[in-house]
């Protein structure tokens, strides 16, 4: 019979002529662990430890087998370890009311039901921000999986967001006691404890729940190896450093689930004052409270509990209280539980630079944002800004929103704003905001100039954003539209007039391209006009007045306003013309007349339209204002076409198109002008009955319009549909009519008059009937 492990190990060490310290150095096993083994405190070390000692001692095959047998004999037998966890190590009590998480529970259930045999134990990491309900979800899953784990379920709160998280060695001790190991048998060495736990769990169908993990290092030694059990880890972090695990993100509840949870919590335990009848809260008030709680389960439970404990409150009253942003977090606290306290645990776990980043992000005046604006706020390079964002995402304080974009949960934004105001001075906040606003507007101004320019534009000096081509400029202006527009409002409110006016002066042609933002452009040029009016240069003010007049006309046209509104817009354009005439500003006069010509088109007065565009063209030619040649010329052609002078109109448009034939690298503005002229040419050819020429010109022009995402696209489909129908090409006609209707009704394209859309539908119905007959 082999001697007990401790005395046998001592005899082997002494025979090898080694001290404990020398054996420790050679084997990698700690001095303390070897001492515990030899004294009999640790009687059954794990396989890897035994192997390391055997190799250090230079044992032969027979001695290695005897040492392994001695270790095995000293370990507690599985039969002696009834998995009855001591008090304090079982699962915590789940919430009284559980709502939603169907997909998450199903996924956890699949892993639980699949956990058997000698394969690697499945490990699932459930992660999400504080208050989102990670623990509640996991406890619910454990309750549903109770029968799947007959050897028990053990739970440890790792206190990952405490100032001092639970040490791994202590977590191992608790888990070993929970699975039935005698206290005296628990190894002193951390790695030894991990080996003990893995050996025991390898033979148990047991569920291990590791709640509230701080990081990968805390968890790694706690995870089982091979065996029939399962481990679930919850953390505010994603624990991306753990490989071979399944990750399940937990997000806020849906609107429907939020309403259900709020109703259940507020109504289930709610007292009703004597002599009154409880009235079901109005749906809109429930939805409003849920929205103000950000659909966060912790916030919803607190709100519901407050309502349930105050019989005199109504859902409407609670919604009113929560509407105050300055008091919302304070109102979402009850007893020793609060949303703000939950967020604070994550915030305090951040390093100093990440905390600064988190606070400063409250200054961003938009729902989502990218890394460059963060770099500006914290005065760091782009790589450093991205590192800070990753830290915030990993801890659940930010949500990724597509490639390179991020956003706050609504309540976390409020918390960040509170931290900003409590931890930074008013001067520091104002300086950071001013720096951000300056950068946004300077970048937007550069982007507008790059989009417009035919030649090179100096790159943005900080190089945080690539703005070297019109496509890059357009992409940035579109992605950051809400941000730079909000910055424009802030700058305008502070009367930073040069910055505001400069932005407007760079946006003329991008505004023409992004015509779908007509209401936004009306605001933009209203703000830039007000700023220019406070500057000393009157010609600049007139320039901005013309842009404002154009935006007013565009909005009226897109909203299909009546004739009286359109005439008001024409009069405003003519007021700009008279002021420009008084100032002797020829180019501004030309701009104003072309605006008026566009207005007369939609009023339906072709004679006035022809006069305005003709005078505008003369002034543009006299002042060398080449930028609006195509606009004025195209307007003249349209007026001639309306007046029935179709052949003259065709000649005008063909001349206009020839002027840009073969010109390389046309600016975006010139491309749009050419596309508009091509469309107008097809209209004139259609009116002249030259249907085959419509197709010859229109089909290539259509490809250009689609590439430019031009607002003229549905109109050209309408023209081509009619031309093909006249030529007897019913299939082609039908294709164009269908696409025109799709663009108008499904994609928000520029809308023709209702009568035009009705004609298109009627014509399509006739074609369908003809085909069916």
Token pair of 725 as six digits: 């129908």
Closest CA to 52 of 32, 67, 36: 67
**CB contact set of 409 (below 8 Å; sequence gap of 6+):** 129, 252, 294, 296, 399
Residue 101's alpha-carbon distances to 105, 133, 141, 252, 261, in angstroms, are 6, 10, 10, 10, 12
Residue 275 clears pLDDT 50, i.e. is over it: no
Quickly state the pLDDT bin for 89 (edges 50, 70, 90): low
DSSP strand E in 371-449: where? Answer: 399-400, 406-407
What is the distance between the alpha carbons of residues 201 and 229, in angstroms, rounded to a whole number?
7
Q: Find how far residue 643's CA is from the centre of its chain.
A: 52
Cβ atoms of 499 and 441 within 8 Å: the answer is yes
pLDDT of residue 270: 40
Residue 525 clears pLDDT 70, i.e. is over it: yes
Question: Tens digits of per-residue pLDDT, 277-321?
Answer: 443 445 888 899 999 999 999 999 899 888 888 888 888 888 999
**Which sign does the torsion angle of CA 451, 452, 457, 461 carry?**
negative
What is the distance between the alpha carbons of residues 650 and 718, in angstroms, rounded to a whole number?
18
What is the distance between the alpha carbons of residues 500 and 540, in angstroms, rounded to a whole number?
12
Question: Tens digits of per-residue pLDDT, 31-60?
Answer: 777 877 887 767 777 777 888 888 888 888
pLDDT of residue 278: 43
3-state secondary structure of 454: coil
Residue 492 clears pLDDT 80, i.e. is over it: yes
> How large is the average pLDDT for residues 8-16?
87
Quickly state the pLDDT bin for 19 (edges 50, 70, 90): confident
**Which sign does the torsion angle of CA 609, 611, 615, 618 carry?**
positive
> How large is the average pLDDT for residues 619-630?
86
pLDDT of residue 460: 57
pLDDT of residue 461: 59
pLDDT of residue 456: 57
Cβ atoms of 370 and 484 within 8 Å: the answer is no
Closest CA to 653 of 665, 661, 719: 661
Among 72-86, 311-325, 354-368, 705-719, the least confident range? 72-86
Residue 487 clears pLDDT 60, i.e. is over it: yes
> How large is the average pLDDT for residues 588-606?
94
Question: Tens digits of per-residue pLDDT, 422-432?
Answer: 999 999 999 99
Strands 368-369 and 406-407: antiparallel
**DSSP per-residue string spanning 598-652:** HHHHHHT-HHHHHHHHHHHHHHHHHHT-GGGHHHHHHHHHHHHHHTT-HHHHHHH
Residue 437's alpha-carbon distances to 28, 160, 444, 503, 523, in angstroms, are 58, 38, 11, 12, 17
Length of the chain as a residue count: 773
What is the distance between the alpha carbons of residues 102 and 66, in angstroms, rounded to a whole number?
53
Q: Is 351 exposed, middle or buried (0-12, 13-18, 19+ CB in 10 A)?
A: exposed
Most confident of 200-204, 338-342, 536-540, 769-773: 536-540
pLDDT of residue 80: 45
Cβ atoms of 289 and 254 within 8 Å: the answer is no
pLDDT of residue 440: 95
pLDDT of residue 471: 84
pLDDT of residue 248: 92
Closest CA to 97 of 307, 337, 339, 263: 263
What is the distance between the alpha carbons of residues 582 and 710, in angstroms, rounded to a whole number?
36
Closest CA to 653 of 632, 675, 628, 678: 678
Residue 558 clears pLDDT 90, i.e. is over it: no
**CB contact set of 491 (below 8 Å; sequence gap of 6+):** 437, 441, 499, 500
> How large is the average pLDDT for residues 531-558?
94
Closest CA to 213 of 239, 248, 189, 250: 239
3-state secondary structure of 305: helix
Token pair of 518 as six digits: 């007509």
What is the distance between the alpha carbons of residues 74 and 43, in angstroms, rounded to a whole number?
5
**CB contact set of 559 (below 8 Å; sequence gap of 6+):** none
Quickly state the pLDDT bin for 267 (edges 50, 70, 90): confident
3-state secondary structure of 249: strand
Q: How many Cβ atoms from other residues are within 10 Å of residue 184's Cβ?
A: 9
Q: Is 348 exposed, middle or buried (0-12, 13-18, 19+ CB in 10 A)?
A: exposed
Token pair of 204 as six digits: 């148990």
**Which sign does the torsion angle of CA 403, 406, 409, 412 carry?**
positive
Question: Tens digits of per-residue pLDDT, 318-356?
Answer: 899 999 888 898 888 887 788 888 889 889 888 999 999
In degrees and rounded to multiples of 5, residue 703 shows phi and psi of -60, -40
Tell me the percentage of the chain whose pLDDT exceeds 90.
42
Residue 380 clears pLDDT 50, i.e. is over it: yes
Question: Tens digits of per-residue pLDDT, 724-761?
Answer: 999 999 999 999 999 999 888 875 556 667 788 889 99
What is the distance between the alpha carbons of residues 179 and 479, in angstroms, rounded to a whole number?
54
pLDDT of residue 539: 93
Cβ atoms of 83 and 175 within 8 Å: the answer is no
Question: Tens digits of per-residue pLDDT, 436-478?
Answer: 999 999 999 999 998 887 445 655 556 788 888 888 888 999 9
Residue 355's alpha-carbon distances to 162, 411, 415, 417, 536, in angstroms, are 17, 17, 12, 12, 44
Angle at 766 between CA 760 and CA 770, to 5 degrees: 145
**CB contact set of 92 (below 8 Å; sequence gap of 6+):** 135, 139, 155, 157, 211
What is the distance between the alpha carbons of residues 717 and 708, in angstroms, rounded to a whole number?
15
The DSSP call for residue 473 is H
In degrees and rounded to multiples of 5, residue 244 shows phi and psi of 75, 25
Closest CA to 249 of 233, 238, 258, 261: 238
The set of long-range contacts for 655-661, using a CB threshold of 8 Å and a minimum separation of 24, is 656/630, 657/681, 659/629, 659/630, 660/630
Closest CA to 221 of 163, 156, 128: 156
pLDDT of residue 462: 65
Q: Is 603 exposed, middle or buried (0-12, 13-18, 19+ CB in 10 A)?
A: middle
pLDDT of residue 273: 40
Token pair of 236 as six digits: 């505010």
Closest CA to 483 of 373, 400, 370, 365: 365
In degrees and rounded to multiples of 5, residue 249 shows phi and psi of -75, 140
Please count the CA atoms within 13 angstroms of the CA of 206 that sit on its side-chain side.
Answer: 33
Quickly state the pLDDT bin for 551 (edges 50, 70, 90): very high
Cβ atoms of 109 and 145 within 8 Å: the answer is yes
Please count the CA atoms within 13 angstroms of the CA of 670 that sit on its side-chain side.
Answer: 19
Q: Find how far residue 305's CA is from the centre of its chain.
A: 31
As a whole number, the mean pLDDT across the chain is 86
């Amino acid at each position: 019979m082999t001697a007990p492990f401790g005395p046998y190990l001592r005899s082997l060490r002494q025979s090898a002529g080694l001290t404990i310290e020398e054996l420790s150095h050679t084997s990698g096993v700690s001095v303390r662990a070897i001492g515990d083994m030899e004294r009999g405190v640790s009687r059954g070390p794990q396989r890897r430890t035994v192997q390391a000692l055997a190799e250090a001692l230079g044992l032969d095959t027979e001695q290695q087998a005897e040492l392994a047998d001695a270790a095995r004999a000293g370990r507690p037998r599985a039969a002696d370890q009834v998995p009855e966890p001591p008090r304090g190590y079982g699962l915590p009590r789940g919430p009284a009311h559980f709502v939603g998480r169907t997909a998450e529970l199903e996924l956890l259930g699949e892993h639980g039901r699949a956990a058997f045999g000698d394969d690697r134990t499945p490990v699932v990491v459930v992660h999400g921000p504080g208050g989102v309900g990670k623990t509640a979800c996991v406890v619910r899953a454990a309750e549903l999986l109770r029968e799947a784990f007959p050897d028990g379920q053990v739970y440890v709160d790792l206190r990952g967001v405490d100032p001092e998280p639970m040490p791994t060695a202590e977590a191992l001790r608790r888990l070993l006691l929970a699975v039935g190991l005698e206290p005296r048998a628990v190894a002193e060495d951390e790695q030894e404890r991990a080996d003990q736990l893995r050996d025991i769990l390898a033979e148990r169908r047991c569920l291990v729940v590791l709640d509230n993990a701080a990081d990968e290092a805390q968890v790694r030694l706690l995870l089982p190896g091979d065996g029939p059990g399962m481990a679930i880890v919850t953390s505010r972090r994603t624990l991306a450093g753990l490989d071979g695990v399944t990750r399940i993100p937990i997000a806020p509840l849906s609107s429907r689930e939020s309403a259900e949870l709020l109703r259940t919590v507020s109504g289930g335990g709610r007292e009703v004052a004597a002599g009154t009848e409880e009235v079901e809260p109005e749906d809109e008030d429930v939805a409003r409270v849920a929205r103000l709680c950000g659909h966060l389960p912790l916030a919803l439970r607190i709100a519901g509990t407050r309502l349930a404990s105050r019989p005199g409150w109504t859902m409407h009253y609670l919604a009113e209280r929560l509407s105050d942003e300055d008091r919302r977090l304070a109102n979402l606290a009850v007893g020793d539980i609060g949303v703000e306290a939950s967020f604070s645990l994550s915030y305090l776990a951040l390093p100093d630079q990440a905390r600064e980043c988190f606070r400063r992000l409250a200054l961003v005046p938009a729902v989502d944002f990218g890394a460059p604006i963060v770099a500006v706020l914290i005065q760091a390079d782009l790589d450093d800004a991205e590192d800070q964002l990753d830290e915030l995402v990993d801890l659940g304080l930010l949500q990724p929103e597509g490639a390179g974009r991020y956003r706050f949960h609504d309540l976390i934004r409020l918390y960040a704003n509170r931290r900003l105001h409590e931890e930074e001075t008013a001067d520091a906040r104002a300086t950071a905001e001013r720096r951000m606003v300056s950068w946004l507007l300077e970048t937007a101004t550069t982007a507008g100039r790059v989009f417009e320019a035919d030649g090179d534009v100096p790159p943005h000096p900080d190089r945080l954003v690539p703005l070297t081509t019109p496509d890059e400029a357009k992409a940035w202006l579109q992605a950051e539209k809400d941000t730079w527009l909000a910055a424009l409002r802030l700058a305008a409110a502070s009367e930073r007039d040069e910055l505001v006016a400069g932005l407007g002066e760079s946006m003329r042609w991008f505004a023409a391209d992004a015509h779908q933002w007509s209401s936004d452009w009306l605001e933009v040029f209203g703000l830039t006009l007000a700023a220019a009016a406070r500057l000393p240069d009157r010609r600049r003010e007139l320039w901005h007045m013309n842009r404002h007049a154009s935006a007013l006309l565009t909005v009226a046209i897109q909203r299909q306003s009546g004739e009286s509104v359109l005439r008001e817009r024409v009069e405003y354009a003519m007021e700009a013309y008279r002021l420009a005439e008084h100032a002797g500003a020829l180019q501004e006069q030309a701009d104003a007349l072309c605006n008026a010509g566009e207005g007369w088109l939609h009023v339906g007065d072709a004679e006035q339209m022809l006069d305005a565009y003709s005078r505008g063209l003369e002034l543009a030619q006299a002042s060398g204002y080449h930028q609006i040649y195509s606009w004025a010329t195209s307007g003249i052609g349209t007026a001639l076409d309306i007046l029935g002078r179709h052949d003259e109109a065709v000649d005008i448009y063909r001349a206009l198109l020839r002027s840009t034939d073969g010109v390389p690298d046309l600016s975006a503005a010139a491309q749009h002008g050419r596309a508009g002229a091509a469309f107008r040419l097809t209209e004139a050819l259609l009116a002249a009955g030259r249907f085959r020429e419509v197709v010859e010109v229109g089909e290539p022009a259509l490809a250009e319009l689609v590439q430019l995402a031009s607002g003229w696209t549905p109109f050209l489909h309408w023209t081509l549909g009619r031309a093909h129908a006249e030529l007897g090409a019913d299939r082609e006609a039908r294709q164009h009519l269908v696409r025109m209707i799709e663009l108008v009704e499904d994609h928000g394209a520029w809308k023709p008059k209702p009568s035009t859309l009705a004609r298109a539908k009627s014509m399509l119905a006739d074609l369908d009937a003809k085909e069916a007959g």
